[in-house]
Structures are given as C-alpha cells and as structure tokens.
C-alpha cells in the first residue's frame, strides 16, 4: 500500500537536502558562465594556441562523464596537496564541466549572427570592443537563453552525481530516507516531485526572460 503520510513526511528532509542541489547547480552554472565566457573568447581568438586550448578543454570535458570528473577531482586534489571541502570541489568540478557546454552554446550563438551585423558597425567606424559589447553580445546572449536554461536544467539533474563524493543533496538524502523508512516508492516519488518543481520553476523563469528580451 502506498503510504501518503510517509510520502508527505519525506518532503521535510528532502527539502533540506534540496538546498545543496540548488547550491551545487546554482554556483556550478555561475562558475560555468564565467569560465565558459573565457573559453569561448579563447575559441574565437586570433591566437592558434588559445584556440587549440579551447578545443582540448571542450572535447575533454564533454567526452568524460561528469561522475568520472567528480571522482578524479576528489582523488586528485589530495594527491597534489590541495585540501578543500568536498562541497567546494564538487561545485568547481560541476562549473568546469558546464563551462565546456556553455562555451559551445555561446560560440554557436555568436557564429549564428549574420556577418552583416558587425559589418554595418565597422562601416560607420565603430571600434572592435564597442562592436562586441553593443552589437554582438546583446544579440548572442538573447539567442543563447533557451540553450542556457536547458543547460541549467540538465545541471540540476546532473547534480545528483555529487552524492557520490558524499554530499547530501536530494538524491543521496532520498536514498538514506528510503533505507530508514523502508518505503522507497514514497520517498523517491517525493524526490521526483522536488526535482520537477525546481526544473519547472527554471523553465518558467527562462520563458519569462526570453519574453522580456524579445523585441
């Protein structure tokens, strides 16, 4: 029999754990946006070395599963003598991983701009930096919004992987809860509801932003 009280009671501890899910994915995406912008700048730069670096960065981070990256980071840091909390290591790893996807999203959005957009600016004598900040980036950011929201939703779900390095986020908390209550179905259903609620909110915010940015 499905126990509705157990189902409802699971929300308490799982909501506490959701803070870590939000923390890891929120900080992860923030870090990913910053690093992603830098990697994208490398990918588009005139220097061949920087372009090469960006290509390697992207293919490594997209080619290796996030779980393996988390474990690598977890075991690598002590070896090189760096000791930081597991949570920080997890956020950094998630951010670095996201940066690869985000840099590709931005590169794609910038590449999709018709060349005439910057040519029109060049033709009136606008400086390259101004062209970037006034013409290219405002359009590229708007164009990339749907893909960025998608990436953020993927990240919220992927954050369940950080449970493997001992962080008590929603997935790990529900495993623990299931073990103590012997009611896995109720607990995991509650966990599903929490993930769904977070991601529906994100999708809604994304749509609202797109709507606001559209002219």
Residues lying near other proteins in the complex (CB under 8 A): 114, 116-117, 119-128, 130, 134-135, 138-139, 142, 215
* C-beta of 79 vs 124, nearer to other proteins: 124
Q: How far is the CB of 2 from other proteins (least distance, A)?
A: 52
Shorter beta-carbon distance to other proteins: residue 138 or 166: 138
Q: How far is the CB of 173 from other proteins (least distance, A)?
A: 44
C-alpha span between 200 and 129 (Å, rounded)? 37
Distance in angstroms (rounded) separating the CA atoms of residues 104 and 43: 9
Is the Cβ of residue 135 or residue 154 nearer to other proteins in the bound state? 135
- Nearest CB to other proteins, comparing residues 1 and 215: 215
Nearest approach in angstroms of CB 174 to other proteins is 44
- Whether the Cβ atoms of residue 14 and residue 163 lie closer than 8 Å to each other: no
The whole-angstrom separation of Cα 192 and Cα 186 is 10
Instruction: Please identify, using beta-carbon distances, which residue of 71 and 126 lies nearer to other proteins.
Output: 126
Nearer to other proteins, 4 or 123 (CB): 123
Of 162, 164, 155, 169, the residue nearest 90 (C-alpha): 162
Smallest distance, Å, CB 116 to other proteins?
4
Nearest distance from C-beta of residue 117 to other proteins, angstroms: 6
């Amino acid at each position: 029999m499905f126990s509705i009280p157990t189902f409802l009671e699971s929300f308490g501890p799982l909501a506490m754990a959701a803070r870590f899910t939000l923390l890891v994915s929120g900080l992860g995406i923030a870090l990913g946006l910053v690093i992603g912008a830098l990697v994208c700048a490398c990918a588009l730069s005139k220097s061949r070395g920087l372009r090469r670096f960006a290509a390697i960065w992207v293919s490594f981070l997209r080619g290796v599963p996030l779980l393996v990256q988390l474990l690598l980071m977890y075991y690598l840091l002590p070896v090189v003598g760096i000791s930081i909390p597991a949570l920080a290591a997890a956020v950094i790893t998630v951010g670095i991983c996201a940066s690869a996807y985000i840099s590709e999203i931005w590169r794609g959005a910038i590449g999709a701009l018709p060349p005439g957009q910057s040519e029109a600016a060049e033709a009136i004598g606008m400086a390259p930096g101004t062209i970037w900040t006034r013409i290219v980036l405002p359009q590229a950011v708007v164009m990339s919004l749907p893909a960025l929201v998608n990436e953020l939703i993927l990240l919220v779900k992927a954050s369940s992987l950080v449970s493997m390095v001992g962080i008590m986020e929603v997935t790990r908390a529900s495993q623990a809860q299931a073990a103590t209550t012997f009611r896995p179905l109720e607990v995991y259903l509650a966990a599903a509801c929490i993930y769904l609620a977070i991601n529906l909110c994100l999708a809604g915010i994304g749509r609202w932003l797109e709507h606001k940015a559209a002219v």
